Amino acid sequence: MVRICVLMRAMYICNCNAVTDADIRREVAGGVQSFAQLQERTGCSDCCGCCEAEARAELAKATRTTADRTPLAIPVLA
Ligand code: FES
């Protein structure tokens, strides 16, 4: 058996509100689909706003990744 250990470090996206890329991925996995929802849930980019472009990019990336993992429907024979 081969075990692969991946250490994933979180990177701060929003320093004002201590929101990391991992937080954004977690929120997307929990159902967040828009930047407004992300702001509502995390407070990301509601202070100085200098993180907005990066937060939006991270949200888009996380949303694409989540969509890629959505299983296809499997036909069931009855
Ligand atoms: S760094 Fe995100 S609001 Fe300031």
Q: How far is the CA of 57 from the centre of ligand 1 (A)?
A: 14
Per-residue pLDDT, 55: 98
Q: Domains of the chain (ranges plus CATH)?
A: 21-66 (1.10.10)
pLDDT mean by block of 10 residues, the chain; 78 residues: 74 97 96 97 96 98 80 70
Per-residue pLDDT, 71: 62
Per-residue pLDDT, 63: 95
Q: CA-CA distances (angstroms) from residue 78 to 2, 71, 75?
A: 39, 21, 10
**E strand or H helix at 57:** helix 52-69
Total-model pTM: 0.77
Q: Is the CB of 14 under 6 A from ligand 1?
A: yes
